[in-house]
Amino acid sequence: MIAQSTRRGIAFMVATTVVFAAQDGISRHLAEATNVPMVVMIRYWFFAAFVTALAARARGGLAAAVRTRRPGLQILRGVLLVAQICVAVAGFVLLGLVQAHAIFAAYPLMVAALSGPVLGERVGWRRWTAIGIGFLGVLVILQPGQAAVTPALALPLLGALMFALYALLTRYVSRDDPAMVSFFWTGTAGAVAMTAVGIWFWQPMAAPDWGWMAVLCVTGVLGHYLLIRAYEVAEASAVQPFAFLQLVFATSIGVAVFGDVLTWNIAAGAAIVVGAGLFTLWRERLRRTG
């Protein structure tokens, strides 16, 4: 029997993937209508306000949230994540949600592969085998040698690598800083960095798109709230596999709303990547509990 807390955690994680998939669709629309830096900048203004308000209500208030033992790494994390979001949204625009998300699904494999050199963790032969199989799945998606291969295909791969590094750095700073400190620095450092870039790309936006921008900001806050709740009520190892459902929901939005095409190689390659990713998560869970 699955514990009630685990069921709730899974429900929160599934809801998180739905919200984040919708956020990706809205981001693609707005970036096509305006530009990527401006969209991400406005989204981060709202996100920074959210994390600041959340930190102010937490134990110790803002003074505790600002206090970090790893300021350099915390700033690097924030900048890395906002840059990754820019790369991801650019990939949505140039490749579509279906192909971009299928390739990006390889990020857990990159986390596993880099956990050794970054965190000093041991990666056994089973996980290395899964990593190798997963990247074969990426090759199935990319179909190297085919005429359809373009430089834009590097965007989701770069985004996956950046997000994997962000995840590993998050685990590293968690040894010294509480989660709220990391969350606060993620939002504020990212907002400052993105403002320095995005303000130069400001352009007029149509009235309906301002409505979509408001929805985007709300989905960003709601998605992070649901994610926090998922990790609060259940173990990360129990709910993390359900994060792959974002691929399913984003693909559905891409096909139904934007007319993206789900080809056989994308479906087959994504299945291989997700299967390999789930195996690495399972092996990591065994390592931590064993």
For 272-285, what is each residue's pLDDT tens digit?
988 888 888 777 76
Task: With a cut of 50, say whether residue 234 has pLDDT above it.
Answer: yes
For 75-132, what is each residue's pLDDT tens digit?
999 999 999 999 999 999 999 999 999 999 888 888 888 887 777 777 777 878 888 8
DSSP string, the chain: ---HHHHHHHHHHHHHHHHHHHHHHHHHHHHHHS-HHHHHHHHHHHHHHHHHHHHHHSTTHHHHHH--S-HHHHHHHHHHHHHHHHHHHHHHHHH-HHHHHHHHTTHHHHHHHHHHHHH-----HHHHHHHHHHHHHHHHHH-TTSTT--GGGHHHHHHHHHHHHHHHHHHHHTTTS-HHHHHHHHHHHHHHHHHHHHGGG-----HHHHHHHHHHHHHHHHHHHHHHHHHHHS-HHHHGGGGGHHHHHHHHHHHHHH-----HHHHHHHHHHHHHHHHHHHHHHHHHH-
Task: With a cut of 80, say whether residue 262 has pLDDT above it.
Answer: yes
Task: With a cut of 70, say whether residue 46 has pLDDT above it.
Answer: yes
CA distance 96 to 125: 35
- How many whole angstroms from its chain centre is CA 169? 14
Give residue 124's pLDDT. 78
Give residue 290's pLDDT. 57
For 184-221, what is each residue's pLDDT tens digit?
999 999 999 999 999 999 999 999 999 999 999 999 88
The total number of structural domains in the chain stands at 1
Task: With a cut of 70, say whether residue 73 has pLDDT above it.
Answer: yes
Domain that holds residue 163: 4-289
**Binning pLDDT at 50, 70 and 90, where does residue 229 land?**
confident
Mean pLDDT for the chain? 88
Give residue 1's pLDDT. 44
Task: With a cut of 90, say whether residue 9 has pLDDT above it.
Answer: no
When comparing pLDDT for 31 and 110, which is higher? 31
